[in-house]
A and B are shown apart, each in its own frame.
Chain A
């Protein structure tokens, strides 16, 4: 569990630092702008943030931090759910401003604390008087009491109000607030920041012209969530230092949830977190999933049972089968030998990851520039393809190689240079040779270039010769010769070289991008049970209900319930029978007929041995059971009572589900 916590912390640190970085530029812009805008009417910044509302919290928090550090101590962050009316809005605003002030000032002015508690009289005038008080105080006190350096520059620092979710505010509240604050803009320098999830058009549809003309809006665009995703994948999955890895299917599920459902980076991270938890819970050998140095230590302290676990791993079995027989015996019996081998294997795995990442990036450099992107545009697609199976066996890879063989020189050279950079920066040791080889290629290309210049000179001279001889016959003859030579021309040096390069890359791919499944002991670091993940994150309650009602055998393992779908088995639980009967009806269901049908089905089971005397009794019980089943269906939302016709219920679902 300690490891898990470490991992998680690492993960979050990575993430947060990344998010901070990605927003910093954007924030800089905004802060700069707030700085500038101070003197105008109501300056408003509209931040277009995209539909992934859940990720915006962090953005706003860091934005307000930056603002607080650089410009003004007065920041209020309003959320639509806190402000159903203008009164609540003002209360919230005032409370936050005063708290903000106290936060920044950090000297405890008792009367201020009291004011913030007393929320009953929260009006614009009280805010203004408070503001003037504060500014007067700061104005008078600035020389003596050194406040934050930036606020010293200001006679009156602006008050920033951030409206987090513009779309969910009530139009009236928003309009009122803007109108009111525009009235007081001279006494209270206000700056509004809108967080917009959809598009800037929403400002115009929410606010009428008379109100929006009071604003001076500038638009800011944030990074799209897809870019976030690719950076996160880059940072989390495509590094060697992070020991935990995702299998292909799991990654696919996570990416699908992201791209097809919510675009939320937070949910992606949540899924990733769940993967970590699941992995460390379900896989007994996951203790070894940690940095290499620790892992080696832990291997030494493994118990016998854990060694047995290693032996049971399918990938390890495969490994054993490929060994000579004496070694096999040793591996299967001697724990110490096993530990030694395990250490070696773990090291192999580690090296494999390091190499994998750089070769993958290299391949990505090549494939991402090809027309039509046969292997995908993003590196994540390439990653998935490589994890899925041997990438060089796929058609897409074949076609991309063919395309690569037709690249022109300048592209090829830049790509090679990029590859060299990647290899140089990668920590793997084996790439010295590769780098050398690639550099050699590059120098050859430069040579080629020089040669090409000379050649061109030669051809120019040949053409000059052509121009000299104006004899028609000769001209024709030389032209034909030229053509002939071109057709039968052997490959130029450049083309040869090109082929050589591509082949080399190909060989690199073949050696280093072996899918993880083929590696020994991959189970330790790869989490690959996608079904668990999908069940927990992307559940389908309706499907579960449907199968339970339609086919109770899935859950209740009783032979009597086994049936070939469609027909109503009379031994099923009551609610299933009632459900099946209700499926056969249209929009409205007559309760009496329904009850009768139910009774017929049920008595078919009990019929033979029910004597006439107790029939009445049986009928009552059946009636009661029917009532129970129907009210259960009502609770589940399949039917509702209808007023259209007496004693009818309306179906709320359609078709078979």
Chain B
């Protein structure tokens, strides 16, 4: 009991620490930001660089995969016994499932669903079942009707068999309650065999008792240690330059396609904004002032042309208009300062 007591003490300590850490909103971290880094990578260079970097422990990982592959026949057996298989563990299980598909499922009807794909929906999955497998073209009012139709068809025709492979069942798009419900009902059909992989640590929270019993999972640990290449390619990392705020490349691309005068207008605004970047209360350039400056630089000849130009920028989300307290319209470029500096430097080189 001594050990138990020690453990209990440890537990209560842990709990106290937790609340201590979460009680104060102050967080002790340094104030450095990524701006200080010399350069930031974008998606493409990142991809290239990673390709160059050798994968560590390739031999061991291969061995690990072979271990998992030896279980394929067992999987098939279990699938035919009415269980569905879920794979968990560290590392991408994509290649493993692909291998399973190519080696075992070659001759049978199977459907692969890339859950990590950011625009996948349950409706698309159901559609692909009805269209490709059941050869039925037609639309349905709701996914429930759709599902009912599929269930009916599969119950009528016992010769139909379908293997469904879902990569990342716990992805953003599929983790909703309703989609899980539909997938669970689908998987409970005796002729549909489901193999899915999960990665998120809280993935099992998606399923309540009813869904679990519909899924009838058999858990398999498949730790592969292989990198999540496909899965993370859609994940917007903080470190990669984000699309939320405009990336430098997109700004330059848009501006390349514009006239010289339009570029000049933008550059003028950018320069003006950079001059005032240290002023936190800088509201932006008012339209009147801007018009004045553009006129002086012979970039526009009338109020209307400038407005037309600005609308074009607004459509590309290059600038944002904001009405100040005095009713005057102020113009801002919603791009962080460093990108803007980079942009100006590049423009100066070009010109």
Contacts and interface: CB of A to CB of B under 8 A. Distances in A.
Interface of A: 51-54, 81-82, 88, 165, 262, 264, 266-267, 270, 273-274, 277, 281, 535-539, 541-542, 544-545, 548-549, 552, 555-558, 561, 573-575, 585-593, 595, 620-621, 623-628, 630-632, 634-638, 641, 644-649, 653-655
A267 B209 CA distance: 10
17 contacts: A53-B209, A54-B209, A88-B144, A270-B83, A545-B89, A545-B201, A555-B60, A556-B57, A591-B34, A592-B33, A595-B37, A624-B50, A627-B240, A632-B227, A636-B200, A645-B29, A646-B33
A638 B201 CA distance: 8
A620 B41 contact: yes
Given A544-B221, A548-B91, A630-B237, 15 more contacts: A51-B209, A538-B219, A544-B88, A545-B201, A555-B64, A573-B56, A574-B56, A591-B238, A593-B32, A595-B37, A595-B239, A624-B53, A632-B232, A635-B231, A638-B201
B204 A628 contact: no
B213 A587 contact: no
A-B pairs with lowest CB-CB distance, top 5: A539-B219, A54-B213, A548-B90, A624-B49, A541-B88
Interface residues of B, number: 65
Nearest to B229: A628
A271 to B, nearest CB: 11
A655 B218 contact: no
Nearest to B48: A624
Contacts of B3: none
B74 interface: yes
Contacts of A589: 29
Given A82-B144, A631-B235, A270 B223 contact: no
A354 B144 CA distance: 52
B90 A545 contact: yes
B33 A628 contact: no
Contacts of B209: 51-54, 262, 264
A49 to B, nearest CB: 13
A638 B33 CA distance: 21
Contact of B213 (A266, A548, A636): A266
Contacts of A634: 232, 235, 237
A281 B77 contact: yes
B62 to A, nearest CB: 10
Interface string B82-116: 01000011110000000000000000000000000
Interface stretch (B14-22, B296-304, B323-331): B14-22
B6 interface: no
Given A548-B225, A555-B225, A557-B60, A593 B89 contact: no
B200 A637 contact: yes
Interface in B167-223: 181, 198-204, 209-210, 212-213, 216, 218-221, 223
A588 B49 CA distance: 28
Which of B36, B209, B216 is most buried by chain A, counting CB atoms within 10 A of its CB? Answer: B209
Contacts of B83: 270, 274
A539 B88 contact: yes
B210 A54 contact: yes
Contacts of B90: 544-545, 548-549, 555, 575, 636
A91 to B, nearest CB: 10
A544 B212 CA distance: 20
Given A277-B77, A277-B78, A637 B27 contact: no
A648 B232 contact: no
A626 B53 CA distance: 12
A53 B108 CA distance: 35
B46 interface: yes
A535 B200 contact: no
B49 A621 contact: yes
A9 to B, nearest CB: 13
B201 A637 contact: yes
